Amino acid sequence: MAINHRKCAKEIFDCLGGKENIVSITHCATRLRLVVAEYDKVNMEHMEKVDGIKGIFRNNGQIQLIIGTGSVEKVYEEFLKINKHALVNKKTILEKMMQLLGNIFIPIVPAIVAAGLMMGCLDVLQTVSTTFAGSDWCDILSLFANTAFLFLPILIAISAAKVFGGNIYLAAIIGIIMVHPSLINAWDVGKMASTEIPTWNIWFLRIRQIGYQGHVIPVVLVVWLMSKLEKQLHKRIPEVVDLFVTPLCTVVVGGFLALGIIGPIFSSAENSIVHLTEYLIAGGNKLGSMIMGTIYPVTVVTGVHHMYNVVETGMLAKGLNTWMPIVSAANVAQAAACLAVGMKAKNGKTKAVAIPSAISAALGITEPAIFGVNLRLIKPFLCSMIGGGIGAFVAAALHVGATSYGVSGILGFLITWGFMFQYGITILVAFASSFVLTWVVWNENPQESDALSVENILDVVQPEAAAERKREKVIYAPVKGTIIRREDFSDPIFASGVLGEGVGIEPETGMIVAPLDGMVTSVTDSLHALGISGPQGMRVLIQVGVDTVNMKGEGFQLFVTEGEQVRAGQKLLKFDMNKIHEAGYSTVTAVLVTNSEEYESCTVEKTGHTEVMEKLITVQ
């Protein structure tokens, strides 16, 4: 019988001796963890009778209420509604959005870093050597360098589908639709009059035949909606026709969303931003230049920055291009913030991503620095915006102008011959202010740094093997190590079996993979545990270590999100065994079927040593 989460939370609250007695409340995958000021005020006798509590355990000053996966999060949320005084640590909407974009971009950072560095080098060679500029070498290397940015929406679509749990091949089709060669390239739209752009008239939609090269947010939104639709269709369409009805409907709806609704909304935003830019920086307005230097990185995030070519073309027709120094200040500020992260960070993975990205940004290609590092860590991004605004103000005050466009950052010296000294001061001020601010404000968080790893690439197993696993109702070993009987757990709650049947594994490696096909139903804020719902309602809990919830995510890196579909063998969680041991905790990993009481049998098939993905538990 399902418990009443609201009633359970209210009864727990009533047993705690008033809100003044509650110091803090957190939860892990199975337990509500409470810290109270005075234990004597807690009505333990009544609490033990609360419907929904399977057991109570007191450890390290905490009262641990065993509620179980699937319910503990809901009871926790209801408790917070009742007692707003409770101390919690929850991410803001902005932090969640930045983390989401980071999760999407991290896997494709190597591709855009390589392309960015190549484009920067080619710009130098073409400027200093007219012979190279017209050579076959230049043409073929330009093709190599431009490809990642020309087809960026496709890369983003594939990565976003992995994050949102959609079909990556259907997402790839949406990305291809948005940059289809039959559409007018987004970089050329600004040079055309609106009447010159052909349109399709489909029912109430007037669809302009333009591409979305360089756009980020539109493709992420479309793939998110497409993934939602795909999941709903899989649930509702009969299996006999699901194979072709779901992909067909998903692609058609996704295509219309991309070209007919979401894409045009951002196109309209582009035009408004262009007019605003021209207004703010007219006549060398210093305040307006500072505003645009500050918000320029935001327009890069949204993908509307390519429309600034219209502004520069108009300026050059009248004289000097005063927009380029503003862009350079913003780009160099991104490079400085990224470099500060790379130099200050102790994590090798962070350095490996940040330093090449900083070089790319200094050459004018900021996407690797923005999406791979600064935006994900938030504070460096904000510091770079401030630095860019200060640099843009200096550029306007010194009346810096360029004689062309197409390059920025360090390469901007090549088109600012008459203002080289002033231009040098501009980028120096932007760099220094951004670097110093980031160095002072940003401090390395191990959880954030681990999340910059480029290892977040999902493994896909053979469909035949996946189908066999679903039929067998088998749980495979999620990690290599030595198996420990459930009864021998050091944690008495696990050992008692109240949370379900299963085993423990003393791990030999720090990587957890999915032990079965299913959906991630819960993830703890401390990242040490997650729940998976498998075939026919089987619920599995994987928890790394005992009391590792107290590490608050330090040393843990999660590769999946709540609600995501996963396949057996897919990477779920990475943990640092040394950090756990140094903190004084055990690394023994629990693998439990939390609803084992609903089945006739739950049999442990393996003892002793196990390799990853060996058959561990069978359920009947």
181 CB neighbour count, 10 Å cutoff = 8
How far apart are the C-alpha atoms of 493 and 102, rounded to whole Å? 37
> Which amino acid is located at 447 in the chain?
Q
E-assigned strand segments in 45-154 = 55-59, 62-66
Whether residue 205 contacts residue 256, with contact meaning beta carbons closer than 8 Å, is answered with yes
Contact residues for 319 (Cβ-Cβ < 8 A; gap 6+)? 401
| Angstrom distance (rounded) from CA 404 to CA 416 | 8
- Half-sphere exposure at residue 296, Cβ-oriented, CA atoms within 13 angstroms: 37
Runs of H (alpha helix) within 262-378? 263-280, 286-302, 308-318, 323-344, 348-362, 367-369, 375-377
Structure tokens, 5: 């989460």
Q: What share of the chain is helix, strand, coil (3-state, %, to 5)?
A: 55, 15, 30
Closest by Cα among 417, 419, 352, 341 to 376:
341
CB-based contact 107:398 (threshold 8 Å):
no
Query: What size, in residues, is the chain?
Result: 620
Half-sphere exposure of 569 (CA within 13 A, CB side): 12
Residues 469/474/475/481 CA torsion (nearest 10 deg): -100
Instruction: Provide the CB-side half-sphere exposure for 23 (13 A, CA).
Output: 12
- The rounded distance, in Å, linking the Cα atoms of 158 and 136 is 32
28 a catalytic residue: yes
Separation of first and last alpha carbons in the chain: 21
Contacts of residue 131, Cβ cutoff 8 Å, sequence gap at least 6:
none
Sheet holding 556-558, edge to edge: 511-513, 571-575, 556-558
Strand partners, 65: 32, 56
Q: How far apart are CA 210 and CA 259, in angstroms?
A: 8
Tokens of 196: 């010159």
The C-alpha atoms of residue 344 and residue 129 are separated, in whole angstroms, by: 37
Q: What's the token pair of residue 495? A: 């050992």
**How many of the other CB atoms lie within 10 Å of CB of 250?**
25
* CA-closest candidate to residue 383, choices 433, 456, 341, 454: 433
Residue 185: helix, strand or coil by DSSP? Answer: coil
Dihedral of alpha carbons 186, 189, 195, 198, sign: negative
Exposure b/e, 479-502, CB count within 10 A at least 16 = b: bbbebbebeebebebbbeeebbbb
Q: Which of 8, 15, 28, 602 is catalytic?
A: 28
User: DSSP secondary structure string, 517-541?
Assistant: SEEEEEE-TTSSEEEEE-GGG-EEE
List active site positions. 28
